[in-house]
Amino acid sequence: MTDYEKVQMMLDSYILWVNDVKNLELEIEAVKNDYDVKAMGFNEKTGQTFKINRELEDRIINKPDKIREYEHKKRFNEINIAKIDNAVQVLSEFEKTVIELKYLIAPTLSWKGIAYKLNAGTSTCRQAKIRAINKMIPLLCR
């Protein structure tokens, strides 16, 4: 995979990362607020078993690990979002607008929609995207 394709893939993932950060915050909150109390069921005995069910204990013990895992994923996404935000700052105003409309703002526009919004041709907008990604490569691919 070339650096150009890598940057393009990162830009394609931007909106997903932003929404994933919000979802991970909700997941962390849900895990923190989950007290997980269950009632015991008494069923007919079928025979002696040596299996000890510690489902509740396991969930309580694994709770900090799950929170740490979600926080790690959230931080990874936040770092990628910040990298892209920093890389966009080096672009010209026209290139920045093209990248924002194509990749960073939901819903993303088609090339025709971007060209209409910027009063430019579609080929001009595509060339601006290529120039912008080439400028962003040194900042995003290290």
- pLDDT score at 85: 96
Residue ranges covered by each domain of the chain: 3-32+59-140
Consecutive 10-residue averages of pLDDT for the chain (142 residues)? 94 96 94 67 59 64 87 97 96 96 92 96 96 96 86
How many angstroms separate the most distant Cα atoms in the chain?
79
Pairwise CA distance, residues 41 & 100, whole Å: 56
Quote the tokens at residue 95.
Answer: 């290139």
- pLDDT score at 63: 82
- pLDDT score at 99: 97
Enter the pTM of the model: 0.79
- Check if the beta carbon of residue 85 is closer than 8 Å to that of residue 75: no
- pLDDT score at 45: 59
Pairwise CA distance, residues 68 & 78, whole Å: 15
